[in-house]
Structure 1
């Protein structure tokens, strides 16, 4: 009985040390990215994409997800990264908040895990420009942690133009 209490106490000490956060990891142009899993509604294969004329180049198009039309954003274009060919591994991460839902293209989804917040660094000098705006932090040497709340709240991503007839 005492051993069980000691083990339970040790486990509680580990969780008290640092807060962790669940993330979904994915690749964009041979770089590793993560986004908080609470914003990822689902992961879908990239198929049946419909291009939308007169939209910015980072709007890849729209898809129908069980009757809901979602805009698909190509973060590679948005972040000025090289584009890769669409393959079987290419996925759409459907991001969701109270205000907005949209999909982002990932060259591949590599997994999900928990990250200790104390492992997160402010950023890297190579992450400048538009990527820096949506940066929440960097974990280790190469995992860029994006701020999904900023992405979903950014009015620059919205395309809401009316065309006069």
Structure 2
């Protein structure tokens, strides 16, 4: 009997291994120049023109319970993850995109409160932070 699986993109944010459901990501792009937003909130790194669309690029560490271990925002491995949302145009800055993982859906049950944007999960003996991008917009 086969169990249902979910595709997760494994990325590094602030030195931490993070998983994001691939269904929540519209595309992955190389970082583009950012236009700062004067007097904007700290979590907005700036605005980027992605395929002619103005996209807010956010720092997930500042709007979630994800704590940074380290950060190398200047890395050549950094990427923007443009998120799927019916109204907003938002991208998340990640330090590195590692790989796509197929994970049994039953393993994605959070160990913390379901109201949180980040849940710790164990997969194959390793602990990951699972980011729920939908909760970033609330």
Aligned length: 132
More strand by share: 2
Q: Does 1:59 align with 2:44?
A: yes
- Preserved contact between residue 34 and residue 143 of structure 1 (Cα < 8 Å): yes
Partner of 2:127: 142
Higher relative contact order (CA 8 A, sep 6+): 2
What is the root-mean-square deviation of aligned Cα atoms in Å?
Answer: 2.1
Aligned to 1:72, the other structure's residue is in SS state strand
Structure 1 stretch displaced more, 135-144 or 42-51: 135-144
Q: State the alpha-carbon separation in 1 of the partners of residues 98 and 75 from structure 2.
A: 14
Is the contact made by 2:32 and 2:49 (CA closer than 8 Å) also made in structure 1?
Answer: no
2:53 matches 1:68 = yes
- CA distance in 1 between partners of 2:63 and 2:85 (Å): 20
Deviation of residue 23 (structure 1)? Answer: 1.3
TM-score (structure 2 length as normaliser)? 0.83
Paired residues for 1:110-149 under 5 Å: 110-123=98-111, 133-140=116-123, 141-149=126-134
Q: Give the TM-score normalised by the residue count of structure 1.
A: 0.71
More helix by percentage: 1
